[in-house]
């Protein structure tokens, strides 16, 4: 009887202590049970509290000083053009529209997962389309309508930007019509980001398939690392194969659930803040006015003064030709992700 009373007293004091710790924002770890009683979660679950703290064991917590308030995804689509600068076939040899539909499906699924985990963040997706077939536009519209996300579609008018684009590129060659359309779409996406977005912006090309946890990982990592570094960031979702073709010094960071490394190059799919877009506006826009070599050269110059990070392993894959060094990211089952996104 006395033993039972002592046990009741112990349980009462334990519960009281847990409540006090919660009030003051402390966490308790019961390592014997792999359990965090202050959160009523096990150690292998997500222990982060969005906008407040990021927790990684055994390093402890990072106070979030850079809270993410909103994310706008700007998805650029063009189903008429198979590849911008090549005549090669893509992985799986499907029509371009199939890559567009599956890419859109994957980002919608990832956004909806992030909505559940990060309910305080506002999500929006804007599709900027470049002259796709009408039936393809209707298909994308259906996908957006059933997405449970705030969404809109903009049909690009290339003529709006023609006067801003120089006819001859860095190779002393005439700029192709496809490249003019691409540069116009990027310019439009930058203008939309500047005029309509409030916080983070994710520029996505229509041949990137995402893991379902990709948006959650990018946003949680943005809060964590931006708070640690006291800087706005640029996050590239792809662990490109080219990163393993040369031995370069880099910096490795611990994100929410992945490692991230500093990189000096990327393509035109990346996440950043409105603050950085406005800070480097002239550099971003120069990519839309003159075809540099490489095309993304202005981005790389921004990376010289800002942190651009990519995940290990990859959160998204660029579905281009199998031999491309900017294509199939290593150590991820991309065939499974391709199959998982066929029911759009």
- pLDDT tens readout for residues 228-284: 999 999 999 999 998 888 888 899 999 999 999 999 999 999 999 999 999 999 999
Task: Tell me whether strands 122-129 and 60-63 are parallel, antiparallel or unpaired.
Answer: unpaired
Q: What is the CA radius of gyration of the chain?
A: 23
Phi and psi based region of residue 255 (left: phi greater than 0; alpha: psi -120 to 50; beta: remaining)? beta
- Gap between the Cα atoms of 56 and 59, Å rounded: 6
Q: Indicate if the pLDDT at residue 206 is higher than 50.
A: yes
Overall average pLDDT of the 316-331 stretch: 85
* Number of H-type helices and E-type strands within the chain: 9, 15
The SS3 of residue 38 is coil
pLDDT tens-digit readout, 47-90: 666 777 676 666 667 889 999 999 999 999 999 887 766 567 88
| CATH 3.90.550.10, the chain: domain bounds | 70-340
- Gap between the Cα atoms of 73 and 6, Å rounded: 57
Overall average pLDDT of the 168-195 stretch: 96
Q: Which of 158, 156, 192, 184 is nearest to 277 (CA)?
A: 192
pLDDT band at 142 (very low <50, low <70, confident <90, very high): very high
- Gap between the Cα atoms of 128 and 152, Å rounded: 9
- Gap between the Cα atoms of 57 and 103, Å rounded: 33
List Cα–Cα distances, 318 to 83, 238, 267, 276, 305, in angstroms: 12, 7, 10, 24, 26
Overall average pLDDT of the 177-193 stretch: 97
What sign does the dihedral 158-199-99-334 (CA atoms) show? positive
pTM: 0.87
Query: Residue 92's pLDDT is what?
Result: 86
Domain 70-340 class?
alpha beta
Beta bridge partners of 77: 129
What percentage of the chain has pLDDT greater than the value 90? 70
């Amino acid at each position: 009887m006395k033993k039972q009373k002592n046990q009741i007293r112990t349980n009462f004091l334990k519960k009281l202590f847990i409540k006090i710790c919660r009030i003051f924002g402390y966490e308790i770890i019961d390592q014997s049970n792999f359990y965090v009683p202050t959160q009523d979660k096990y150690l292998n679950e997500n222990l982060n509290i969005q906008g407040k703290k990021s927790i990684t064991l055994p390093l402890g917590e990072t106070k979030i000083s850079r809270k993410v308030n909103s994310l706008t995804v700007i998805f650029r689509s063009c189903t008429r053009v198979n590849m911008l600068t090549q005549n090669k076939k893509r992985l799986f040899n499907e029509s371009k529209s199939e890559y567009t539909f599956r890419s859109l499906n994957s980002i919608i699924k990832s956004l909806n997962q992030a909505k559940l985990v990060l309910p305080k963040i506002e999500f929006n997706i804007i599709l900027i389309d470049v002259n796709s077939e009408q039936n393809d536009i209707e298909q994308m519209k259906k996908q957006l309508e059933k997405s449970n996300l705030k969404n809109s579609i903009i049909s690009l008018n290339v003529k709006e930007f023609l006067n801003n684009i120089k006819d001859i590129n860095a190779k002393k060659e005439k700029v192709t019509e496809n490249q003019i359309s691409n540069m116009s779409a990027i310019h439009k996406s930058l203008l939309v980001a500047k005029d309509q977005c409030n916080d983070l912006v994710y520029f996505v090309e229509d041949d990137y398939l995402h893991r379902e946890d990709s948006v959650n990982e990018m946003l949680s990592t943005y809060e964590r690392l931006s708070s640690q570094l006291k800087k706005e960031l640029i996050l590239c979702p792809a662990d490109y194969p080219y990163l393993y073709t040369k031995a370069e010094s880099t910096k490795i960071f611990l994100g929410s659930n992945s490692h991230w490394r500093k990189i000096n190059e990327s393509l035109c799919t990346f996440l950043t803040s409105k603050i950085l877009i406005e800070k480097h506006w002239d550099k971003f826009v120069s990519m839309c006015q003159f075809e540099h070599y490489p095309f993304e050269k202005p981005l790389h110059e921004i990376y010289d003064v800002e942190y651009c990070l990519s995940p290990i392993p990859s959160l998204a894959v660029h579905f281009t030709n199998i031999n491309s060094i900017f294509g199939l990211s290593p150590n991820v089952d991309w065939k499974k992700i391709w199959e998982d996104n066929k029911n759009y």
